Amino acid sequence: SIMLGRASACVAAPRLPRRTLPLLCLSLVLPRCSAAEQIRGMNYAPDPSDYHGGRAYSGDYFTDDFSELWGAGASGDGRRDLQQMKDMGVNYVRVYYWAARQAAAKAHRGFLQECRRLGLRLAISFAIQYLECTLGECDRFRECDGSRLHVCKSADDVSPAVFHIVAEAREFADVVTMWVVGNEPDLLLMGLLARRGISERSSEAARGVMHEVQAALLNIIRHIGRAEWAAEWSSPPPRITVPMSFAYTPTSRCPEMPGGLSCDVYTAMLDEIGEERLVLSFQTYNGGDFLEHQFFATKETTWSAKLNLEYSLQQAGLSHLLDLPSVLSEIGRFQQEPDFIRRQVEASLGSYEGAPLGLFWFSFMDKPFKGGTEASFGLFQFDGVRKTIPTSSPIADVASYPVDTLVPKPSYAVLRTAYLDIPAAPTRTTSRAARASPPSPPTPLSPHAAYPAGLCGAPTCSAAVLNTKAGLERYTCGERISYLMSAAMAGGPREEAEACHTIGAVEFPMLCSGCAPAKAPGTALAASPAPPVQRSPAPPAGPRPARPPA
């Protein structure tokens, strides 16, 4: 494949039959990727109300058959979802299902043309099933004619699927600017370990499976490189990312970081494709305060070191990854909580040091077929059927589909206002990787023998609560409150009410909640509920960082 090394500005030609290419300089083959723009994105899957798994190419509703959903359609009276997104400030759309057989028939041209007309960028996914097939897991999936799994029966069959998708997208290189490889492979890894009967996640057997997953990801990325070369993709090539959840997984580099598998996978990807193309992406439903003041914060201002991206990467010797763009490829809230949603967006589009490049909101519309809370993350919900449209494609596996009426939920207005009002963050010019690393994360004040009651103005803030161990048992709730109120805090000391709210409602609510006042006057933190836990398998036994409770 075309592999871009960090140490070289040249690319090696793929070894392909009947066509060869000498070693050429990068500027002659793959121009540098365009400068990263802030992403105000949307995760989009327009599954109709009668959808169930396997229908209509297993979820690829982006062909001309279904233009009444995302565009004007043949009737001119379509729902125009893409126009709706454009009007609310969206500039990037991520799609999960993009069927190879439909790509081979150039069946996505209408969707791609509509994105071009509206000025929307597109992130196309190579579905997680491609990855699972390379791991010998294809027999777990029911195939249907025309589905995205149609050619996916073995590792070798992934190659033509990738080729068809890349070849179709080549004409729309100005639109297709990101490849998304799989989705949360760390959760896939957990499933593989369970199916193979490996219970100890730190064992050599578990690490071996982790390396299998990593190799499978790189295999798909190499297929993408070969397909781009075969398609003569001469314009700036799409960036490439692998979205990670916040699961704790067997990883040789960052075992205590949420989403720790990213350390191994992104290091391998960097060696394969180079820093010009790699984007770090994380999927979490935590709150904005957690993101801005904990995960993405500089480690000088973070709450808990091992929940901090910068600290974890520096400890693993991976500081160079800090200068790569990162994005929240999924973030959302199924509860209709305006303040919480607004803070999520503010943290994702912030100008603070370490802030991500942006976000893809999850999601545009509800998915009733999923059931439970998974069904209600959308900005829009179903409200009856407007009309029914017949399909004309000979390989569509539905004879017709409903065009449902969508009505906005309160979260729509919040996200629309945030996307349109929050100013673009300035481009970062300084290197975080080159910055001298402090010897340790922030520490509390000198330990106290015991804390008396009386802080925070709450009778529940007892001596027992104040002396409860927090912060991986490095300090107590009381010590942390004192530290937040001290001159050692970056940006100056916090007021007592704010410090109490921070420790009791945001940082360590399970341990220190007795010291959280009902409201912290004069601070935006008071309006933000405690961040929920990322939906992921339970962490293994042993010492782990404290995480916000559900």
pLDDT the model gives residue 415: 98
Q: Is the pLDDT of residue 445 over 50?
A: no
CA pair distance 376, 380, nearest whole angstrom? 9
CA pair distance 524, 517, nearest whole angstrom? 14
Contacting residues for 160 by C-beta, under 8 A, at least 6 apart: 100, 151
pLDDT the model gives residue 136: 65
CA atoms within 13 Å, Cβ hemisphere of 129? 23
Q: Which of 82, 93, 524, 501 is nearest to 346 (CA)?
A: 524
The average pLDDT across 443-467 equals 69
Q: Is the pLDDT of residue 424 over 50?
A: yes
* β 176-181/239-241 pair status: parallel
pLDDT the model gives residue 328: 98
Q: Is the pLDDT of residue 31 over 80?
A: no
- The pTM of the full predicted model, rounded to 2 decimals, is 0.74
The average pLDDT across 527-548 equals 34
* Residue 84, amino acid: Q
Highest mean pLDDT among 57-71, 319-333, 483-497: 319-333
Q: Tell me the H-state helices in 291-380.
A: 309-315, 338-348
Q: 382 has which bridge partners?
A: 406
Neighbouring C-beta atoms of residue 410, cutoff 10 Å: 13
Structure tokens at 27: 């500027």
Looking up tokens 């919480």 gives 340
pLDDT by residue (tens digit) across 43-55? 999 999 888 765 4
The answer to whether 444 touches 485, Cβ cutoff 8 Å, is no
Q: Is the pLDDT of residue 5 over 50?
A: no
- For the chain, the straight-line distance linking the first and the last C-alpha, in angstroms and rounded, comes to 44
Q: Is the pLDDT of residue 394 over 60?
A: no
Does 294 or 432 have the greater pLDDT score?
A: 294
CA 547 to each of CA 251, 307, 471, 488, 534: distance values in angstroms, whole numbers, following the listed order:
19, 8, 10, 24, 9
pLDDT by residue (tens digit) across 143-187? 443 443 443 344 446 788 899 999 999 999 999 999 999 999 998
Does 525 or 397 have the greater pLDDT score?
A: 397
pLDDT the model gives residue 131: 72
Looking up tokens 């070693």 gives 23
Q: 12 has which bridge partners?
A: 3
Q: Is the pLDDT of residue 110 over 70?
A: yes
pLDDT the model gives residue 167: 97
Q: Which of 240, 112, 246, 100 is nearest to 170 (CA)?
A: 112
Percent helix / strand / coil, the chain, rounded to 5: 35, 15, 50
The answer to whether 80 touches 46, Cβ cutoff 8 Å, is no
Contacting residues for 411 by C-beta, under 8 A, at least 6 apart: 333, 336, 338, 341, 379
pLDDT the model gives residue 481: 86
pLDDT the model gives residue 525: 32
Least confidently predicted of 249-263, 415-429, 514-528: 514-528
The average pLDDT across 392-420 equals 87
pLDDT the model gives residue 535: 32
The answer to whether 363 touches 42, Cβ cutoff 8 Å, is yes
CA pair distance 100, 60, nearest whole angstrom? 10
The answer to whether 360 touches 328, Cβ cutoff 8 Å, is yes
Least confidently predicted of 138-147, 464-473, 492-501: 138-147
The answer to whether 474 touches 442, Cβ cutoff 8 Å, is no
Q: Is the pLDDT of residue 20 over 70?
A: no
Chain-centroid distance of CA 106 in Å reads: 28
Domains detected in the chain? 35-421 (3.20.20.80), 443-550 (no CATH)
The answer to whether 298 touches 309, Cβ cutoff 8 Å, is no
Q: What does the mean pLDDT of the chain come to?
A: 78
DSSP conformation class of 210: H
Q: 359 has which bridge partners?
A: 40, 328
